[in-house]
Chains A and B, each alone.
Chain A
Amino acid sequence: MNRLPKWIVLLGALFFAGSAAAKETIKVGAILSVTGPAANLGGPEARTLQMLVDEANKKGGLSGHPIELLLKDSGGSPEKAISFAKKLIEEDKVFAIIGPSTSGETLKIKGIAEEGKTLLLSCAAAESIVKPVGKWVFKTPQNDSHAARKILEHIKKAGLTKIGLVSSNTGFGKAGKEQVEKLAKELGLEIVANEDYDKEATDLTAVATKLKAAGVQAFINWSIEPAQAIVLKNARQIGLDVPIYQSHGFGNIQYVKAAGPAAEGVIFPAGRLIVAESLPASHPQKSVLMKYKKDYEAQTKEDVSTFGGHAYDAFLMLGKVIEKAGVDREKAREALEGVQGLVGTAGIFNFSAQDHNGLQADAFEMLTVKQGKFVVLQEGAAKKDAPAKKK
């Protein structure tokens, strides 16, 4: 018989099929605060991630590897973050974890990620996440110190010396407060009023009054929660017409809407995502930002915010290392440290073994609010700050 036995044919077919078969699925974990006190961070982050994973999988995955997203809602609770991290790393053996949304949670699972040799791409802002550097821990948001420096240098350039500082009682607020206090001393600026306020406060006129009483020439409102809008309103209502500076936690148009006319003229540093349309076409970030904005707003029917962008950047980093190193964890980690010029929403990332954040002060653009929209701050307009008091 000249016919080959069936099983050899089958084996042969399988052999050839196998070499052209789909590459293995990569499991990616995500621990985000979709609900709870940090929901305004985790919600957009989760939606962004879901959108990106779906989009990638439609195209066959990242570098041909389908992505399986295991999204866990930690509700902002560190104990849940710890439990989920252990589960994702030890049981599901995920390739990487994106998140958590808050610094408190990230600090608690830093050690778990290190021990489990799993990449942790955090969406939280605290500098202590990457200082001291953990081999496997990276973060995507810009450093608070850069934001604080930009704000304080702007204040100094405007010739103002007595400033007020109000910050919310969250990790973000606390971290920013530390940075501002440190840098203000360095730049010779005097903080004459320094208050923490509750992120769930319903009215902050008393805090605004305290600022007015101290005679501040400008004040910084450092928060990432909606309550920062209340500060703006109350300050303008009681006639505190000094320049107001916000942190990059203001990067959500919802907050501008909540503050109404009180947000006019507010100055703050932020990633360029929220002014994407006004960027010149030659700007390296323009196409990435416009695409994210378009896709996100079409999908979720809500405005894009810089918070969701942090998850976007994390996914971008993931795609890059899979492209360079496949599914080998140690190689991927090394590859990430070598990534340069990665265009993300928060800026252009340049990683190294000592810098697991990859962003510098130029990731920030100074923005302001004009007629309820985010626009790039034009220097020279810096003097005309507060709106005329309306009667």
Chain B
Amino acid sequence: MTFALFLQYLVAGVTYGAIYAIVAIGFGIVYNATGIINFAQGEFVMLGGMFAVTLQAYVPLPVAVLLAVLIVMGVGALVEILFIRWLDRPTVLRMIVITIGLSIGMRELALLVWGEGVRSLPYFTGDAVTALSVGDVHVSPQVLWVLGTVGVIVAFLLFFFGQTRLGRQMRACAANRDAARLCGIDARGMVTLSFVLAAGIGALAGCVVSPITYVQYDSGTNLAIKGFTVAVLGGLGNSAAALGGGLILGVIESLSILVLPAAYKDVVAIAILLAILVFRPAGIFGNAATARLQEHA
């Protein structure tokens, strides 16, 4: 296999990986603030794409994307307020089951509203066949949009959690909720904010990814599983690590088709998930001690 081909496989892997990474980051935000894995994260991604496709028939593309993100952020807030907010120290099982139920519910609603057909946004730049080439290695400009978006998101989150007052308040809540409340931080608001943030990021991901693939009422589920794998792989709750984990998983998946039939690509991803969960739940970049504490339900 030539070097150019190997690079092409890498590019393919980076494409998948970036997509998974964005979903993983969404998981991480909610997890950090609440300790909950929100199974409905994949649906936020799907909704972002769906709303944007519907809207771009009426408004220019960038406006459609912006509106879609805002709408889904609203959905995220709604979900938190209606279903999560008033639960009093729920057990993990309860939360898992509720978010799974929400995921199913949102999927069925999407089916009701949009039907079962597939939709795509137009490419942000160029079209379905444009490719930027370096020698014999080609990449669609949309992939660069995806990578760029992920980069911007990660940078934004680092800034937000590190430098802004609001971000630090959220971190305080995540670390010790009661202490944070004693300091006058609105713990409940923080939780809502985390959902809003995760929903917005997910929606943005859905928009920027939809030209490459397409969006359908049930495209959320598959993404959620891959996204979770990446989140755990990188270390739950750490955005930059999620990016790293995503790229690693994407490349492994891409190269796996050299040895396994392509139909089993997903099996590779899940096998990795299981291996990580069993052997190193903290993830590659995570802190083993913290993870052991978090494990305790």
Contact = CB atoms under 8 A, between A and B. Distances in A.
A206 B9 CA distance: 6
Interface stretch (B11-19, B33-41, B192-200, B238-246): B11-19
B138 A239 contact: yes
Given A202-B213, A238-B8, A254-B118, A233 B138 contact: no
A207 B219 contact: no
B261 A195 contact: yes
A204 B257 CA distance: 11
A232 to B, nearest CB: 8
Contact of B257 (A207, A239, A302): A207
A196 B261 contact: yes
B128 A261 contact: yes
Contacts, number: 124
A206 B250 CA distance: 11
A254 B116 CA distance: 12
A207 B214 CA distance: 18
B5 interface: yes
Interface stretch (A15-23, A35-43, A279-287): A35-43
Nearest to A260: B128
A206 B262 contact: yes
Nearest to A210: B257
Given A200-B219, A238-B138, A206 B130 contact: no
B117 A201 contact: no
Interface residues of B, number: 46
A325 interface: no
A198 B266 contact: yes
B254 A206 contact: yes
A373 to B, nearest CB: 16
A230 B129 contact: no
B209 interface: yes
B265 A201 contact: yes
A244 to B, nearest CB: 12
B115 A203 contact: no
B140 interface: yes
A259 B126 CA distance: 13
Nearest to A261: B129
A238 B261 CA distance: 21
Contacts of B13: 206
Given A200-B219, A261-B129, A237 B262 contact: no
Contacts of A262: 128-129
A35 B112 CA distance: 10
B123 to A, nearest CB: 8
Contacts of B212: 202-203, 230, 233
Interface in A26-68: 34-35, 39-40, 43
Interface stretch (A92-100, A114-122, A383-391): A383-391
B111 interface: yes
A146 B209 CA distance: 37
B129 A233 contact: yes
17 contacts: A39-B116, A201-B265, A202-B209, A205-B8, A205-B11, A205-B12, A206-B254, A206-B255, A210-B258, A213-B1, A226-B214, A233-B128, A237-B130, A237-B140, A258-B214, A390-B129, A391-B130
Q: Which 8 A-B pairs have the closest CB atoms?
A: A260-B128, A205-B12, A39-B116, A196-B263, A202-B213, A236-B129, A226-B118, A206-B12
Interface of B: 1, 5, 8-9, 11-13, 15-16, 19, 111, 115-118, 120, 123, 126-131, 133, 136, 138-140, 209, 212-214, 216, 219, 222-223, 253-255, 257-258, 261-263, 265-266
